Structure 1
């Protein structure tokens, strides 16, 4: 995989950002934050199992806010393996108009499934 270097990609991203509506800008920022966090998980002390930090789902929540909430609750998860599914869900909402509550339900299931995999891996190693 090639790395994008230099100022041109940054200028291109800034131009694209400026061309977006405010809601789309929020979506782009949330997705960029998700990407930035995917490899920045905190190392586990002595390889121990970490539990999610429950954060209640608000009655009204945007998909962007849900991704932030779930990323915080499941901070021990590696975001890389979840990237494609998260991107597909975000696209279904933004580009195809899928209702936010349905997408958030699927995001919660996605994070829970990855946590079950994480937990099973740690329990089998311990």
Structure 2
């Protein structure tokens, strides 16, 4: 994640559930007003998981692996896992395993929706 993404995640983690939903709604609005100009891959990219990967690096890798996914739909789940890892000491490898499942699940849901 870059500096702006880290700041957004930090603010997001400080909000109440209602505040988080409002932030996501506003982000969705902005995404509609300022769409990405880059073409997006239809299939996941083959980016291997390195040994001793950090949770943040895993999120970056998975975001690049699944560029077709709407990241605001993933933010809540990924933010919760990052918080569990950073604040509660949950094992990084376990969190990354769960992140991979989340990204794959969202990808499968997108495929079946189309």
TM bucket, shorter chain? 0.5 to 0.7
Unaligned runs of 5+ in 1: 1-25
Unaligned runs of 5+ in 2: 13-27
Shift in alpha-carbon separation, 1:92–1:79, aligned structure 2, 3 A: same
1:83 and 2:75 aligned: yes
- Per the normalisation by structure 2, the TM-score is 0.68
Question: 1:70 touches 1:111 (CA, 8 Å); kept in 2?
Answer: yes
Dislocated runs of 4+, deviation >2 Å: 26-35, 38-44
The whole-number CA distance in structure 2 between the counterparts of 1:103 and 1:28 is: 22
Over aligned residue pairs, what C-alpha RMSD do you find?
2.9
- Per the normalisation by structure 1, the TM-score is 0.62
Report the secondary structure of 2:88's partner residue: coil
Greater Rg by CA = 1
For residue 87 of structure 2, what is the aligned residue in structure 1? 95
